[in-house]
Structure 1
C-alpha cells in the first residue's frame, strides 16, 4: 500500500495530532482545486489528510508503530482510546498480535498494531483483552494473521523475517 487518505475537518488539529502522537513527519503535498491537503510520513507509510466539502466516509485504517507501549501510554494520557467500537480499546488477536483503537480529532477510527502481544509488558499495557476470551473462534479465526511475510520492512524485522 502506498498511502491512506482520510478526511480532516480541522486540518491543523489533525496535523498536530498525527505529528505529536505518532511522530509523523509532514512532507510536501501538491495543491488541488477542490480541497486542502497535508501529506504525512511514518517510515514507509504515508497518511494523506484532506479538508473538503462532502468528504467520503470509511471505517478505519491501521498503523504500525515502533514502540507500542509508548503509543499506548500516550493514548491513555490523551484519553483518546475507543473503548466501544470493538468491545475494548486494546486486544490480543488469536494469532498473538496486539491492536488498539483510538479516535483522531476528525472522529476517524485509527487502529494501532503490534506483531507480538506476548512481548508487551503487562504492567504497562494493563487492560488488553484476549479476543478468544470474548468471542469463540473457529479454525479460520485461529488461523488468521494480521501480519504476513510480505509486510513492511520494520514489521518484518520485528517478526525476525527481515
Structure 2
C-alpha cells in the first residue's frame, strides 16, 4: 500500500490575490516563488525547502472552522501584530491558548477570510503580558458538544519532532 509521506503544499482560495499576497509575504514572512503559467490568478510561497503555500483567486465560499496551521519563530511579535491588525478570530476555536504540550495557539483571518492557526513551538519564550490579555484563556478549547470520538491522548502534540 502506498503511503502519504508529507504535505507538499496547502492551497487557499482568496478573493483578492494582491491583498492576500501582501498579508502572507509581509505579515507572515513567506517568500514568493514562481508559479506555473496558469490562466488564473495564483501565487506560490515558500514555507521551507519542502513545503509551500499556494494562493488562488476564485469566487468561492470560505470555511468557518477549517484552517491551515502555521508555526512561527516569534509568537510574541506575531500576536501583537495580529492584534494591531484586528484579525484575531476567537469565534471558531476560542481565545488564544497555551496547549497542554506548551505550544501557543491563536487563529487569525487573512484578508479573504481564510482561517490561519498560528502556533509556537512548545517551550518557546512567551511574553507574560499575553497571559493577561483579554484575548487569552487558559486550558484547551471546549465546544460543549461532549462528543469524544477520534484519536485522543493526554500526551498529544502539534509537534512530533521536537529536536
Check whether TM > 0.5: yes
Residue 99, structure 1, aligned to residue 105, structure 2: yes
Structure (1 or 2) with the greater helix fraction: 1
Alpha carbons of 1:87 and 1:7: their partners in 2 closer, same or farther (altered >3 Å)? same
TM-score by length of 1: 0.79
CA contact (8 A) 1:98 1:117 kept: no
Aligned to 1:146: 158
Aligned to 1:23: 29
Aligned to 2:69: 62
TM-superposed deviation, 1:50: 0.3
CA distance in 2, matches of 1:95, 1:124: 17
Matches within 5 A, 1:113-152: 113-116=119-122, 119-124=125-130, 126-127=132-133, 128-132=136-140, 140-149=152-161
Number of corresponding residues: 147
CA contact (8 A) 1:31 1:37 kept: no
Q: CA RMSD in A?
A: 2.6
What are structure 1's unaligned runs of at least 5 residues? 150-158
Runs (4+) of structure 1 moved beyond 6 Å?
none
What are structure 2's unaligned runs of at least 5 residues? 1-6
